[in-house]
Amino acid sequence: MFPKVQDEYIPEPKHTSPDEVETVVGPSVHVEGDFASEGNIIVKGMVSGNVKTSKLLSVEEGAKIFANVRAGDAIVAGQIKGNIKVDNKLELTESAQVLGDIWCKTFIVAPGALIMGRVSMDGLSIEDDKKAKKIPGLRTRIKEFSEGESEEE
Amino acid sequence: MYVYLYDNFLRQRKYDAIMKSIETRLTDFDIAGKIIRIQNFTNAESLIEDEIRHGGKTIVIVGNDSTFGHVLSRAASLQVTFGFIPVGPNNTISEVLGIPNGPEACDVLARRRKVNLDVGWVNNRYFVSRLHVFPADIRVEYDERFAVSSTKKKIELVVCNLQPYTWNNKQGTNYIVHPQDGKLEAFLCPIISQSIFGEKYEDPSIFPFEEMIVTSRKPFLVEADGKQSKETKIKIRLAKNRVDMIVGKERKF
């Protein structure tokens, strides 16, 4: 009665990211081990291990991370014991506590946030005086001294 | 050639009229074929293998979610096209696939719009829609990289593939899980408190994954596509593009 229809294959939709659903670590959840995701990560609980994402990492108030963190962007309101490396913007809110070194491009710190560590940012155009002047090393000084002595002789 | 697998519940009198109209419609489309009635103990895999040997090209499941799960849990690995005609209540998977209930499903079947669906693999069988681990003291290991446990003792675990996990958070966000996103999604809900009025669950923790191992000291109850069993260790994996399925235009992925 009706004409026969040929099979029509529907191509898979192109996903910009494999993780459309965000990764969420709940308040009473404990994660052990290296934890990586290609999507956004929200940490409300505890993570004992490296955290890595190319997108946004959000560490909420009360959350704790005991290892190094690497993210595209990050908003920290909890505690991090480890180094933080952020490709773009890092924001520390009033309740944030960081014990470790920080590398980022843009840094926003709210009053009340606590940091113990070194902060390094890309794009600094001021030259460091200590680095600009060449401080003679011990060997060169000895060399100069020995040369001076031989001239006196 | 089309092979139709009818669930046993369709023998009931109340389904006579609807089955007659479905069969008439299939004849109109010239896609009528062999009808096999399946029972609870029917091994779908060997049955379909036999039909493929005899020239079966399209296997059409006629029934509800439980029929769908019963057939595909064993037969998902077979190289054949699957179709689905939902009849009666308990049909939620058909909504996700965009297949209307009753005779209208024949139009979708005749249109032959096909997609390759991902399925989940648990221990030694497939699951198509979702896997549910009832609240238990479990430990979950993801992709052999990190382990998740709860400071509260019991956790409920839901792994979604076809069926969306309906959950509203405090901000009213709905999470929709697509069957083709290349990963399974695990929703972990620790129990915060228990009382005579029921259990209070925490907002779910969500982890997309490809492989997961769930372990416990005590046996825990697992339900995959409506089938329950007790296990102490389960390994859940994603089997990509395993099922060749005829779907409707209104599918939700």
Q: Is B71 helix (H, G, I), strand (E, B) or coil?
A: helix
pTM: 0.75
Mean pLDDT by 10 residues, chain A (153 residues): 63 46 85 87 92 93 94 95 95 95 94 94 75 54 58 55
Q: Which fold has domain B125-240?
A: Tumour Suppressor Smad4 (2.60.200)
Please tell me the predicted confidence (pLDDT) of residue A15.
42
Which of B206, B212, B245 is the mutation pick for testing A, counting most A CBs within 10 A?
B206
Beta carbons of A32 and B247 less than 8 Å apart:
no
- Each residue of B144-169: pLDDT tens digit? 889 998 877 788 998 888 776 766 55
Q: Where are the domains of chain B?
A: 2-112, 125-240
Please tell me the predicted confidence (pLDDT) of residue A18.
41
Please tell me the predicted confidence (pLDDT) of residue A103.
94
Instruction: State how far residue A76 is from chain B, nearest Cα, in angstroms.
Output: 19
Rounded alpha-carbon distances, angstroms, from residue B225 to A60, A79, B95, B161, B162: 36, 41, 16, 11, 10
Intervals of chain B under pLDDT 50: 179
Identify whether the C-beta of residue B208 lies closer than 8 Å to the C-beta of residue A19.
Answer: yes
Question: Does ipTM come in above 0.85?
Answer: no
Of A1, A10, A35, Cβ closest to residue B146: A35
CATH class of the B2-112 domain in this structure: alpha beta
Beta carbons within 8 Å of B243's beta carbon, 6+ residues apart: B72, B76, B82, B116, B117, B119, B128
The residues facing A99 across adjacent strands are: A81, A116
**Inter-chain Cβ pairs, chain A and chain B, closer than 8 A:** 100
Of A15, A26, A46, Cβ closest to residue B204: A26
Beta carbons of B112 and A32 less than 8 Å apart:
no
Residues of A near B (Cβ–Cβ under 8 Å) read 1-2, 4-10, 12-13, 15, 18-37, 39, 45-46, 49
